[in-house]
Amino acid sequence: MKITEVRVVLNSSAGESKLKAYCTITLDNKFVVTGLKLVQSVTDLFLAMPSRKFMVRCVSCQAKNVIIAKYCNWCGKVLPECPLLTPKQIHYDICHPISNELRLEWQAHVVNEYNKALLEFKRSLESQEKSTAG
């Protein structure tokens, strides 16, 4: 499948956050993958796949709660203990490339579009500064 479109939305608080952008890719103009995130790692940018948190239902009110919660967010009742999980284990990927080659291809496309969007944003800031100064 060929990437036919990449959409990047810059994170407004990217300066303080590791999360730099939210991304969507379109494959062959037929399939869309949303919920991708571009994250700053120690060395470079990393494309995180769409994910969800594991949830558990309260036995009293049936509300959904994060699996590591001790009390229900809605009724306050004690939730049953779940197996010990680390913060990284409370999320699971909704979809992901099977091969590292495809992941790196997607990442290269998204990082390229991110750099273009960032450059465009910086140019628009500069033009705003020039128009307010002059």
Q: What parts of the chain have a pLDDT lower than 50?
A: none
Q: CATH number of the domain that 8 lies in?
A: 3.30.1120.40
CB 10 within 8 A of CB 121: yes
pLDDT of 127: 84
Position 126 scores a pLDDT of 86
Q: What would you report as the CA-atom Rg of the chain, rounded to the nearest whole angstrom? A: 20
Q: Same structural domain for residues 9 and 39?
A: yes
Structural domain boundaries, residue 57? 51-96
In a domain, 62, yes or no: yes
The answer to whether the CB of 40 falls within 8 A of the CB of 18 is yes
Question: Number of folded domains in the chain?
Answer: 2
At residue 89, the pLDDT reads 65
CB-side exposure of 13: number of CA atoms within 13 Å? 3
What's the confidence (pLDDT) of residue 5?
Answer: 96
Contact between 73 and 55 under an 8 Å Cβ cutoff? The reply is no
Question: What is the DSSP-derived secondary structure letter of residue 78?
Answer: B
User: Within a domain: residue 114?
Assistant: no
In a domain, residue 127? The reply is no
pLDDT of residue 87: 56
pLDDT for 83: 65
Residue 129, C-beta contacts closer than 8 angstroms, at least 6 positions apart? none
Note whether 7 and 37 are same-domain residues: yes
User: Which position has the token pair 């465009």?
Assistant: 120
CA nearest neighbour of 53 among 93, 87, 84, 91 = 91
Q: Determine the pLDDT at residue 21.
A: 94
- Examine residue 20 and state whether it is found in any structural domain, yes or no: yes
Tell whether 69 and 42 lie within a shared domain.
Answer: no
Q: Does the model's pTM come out above 0.75?
A: no
- For residue 68, tell me if it sits in a domain: yes
Same domain, 71 and 33: no
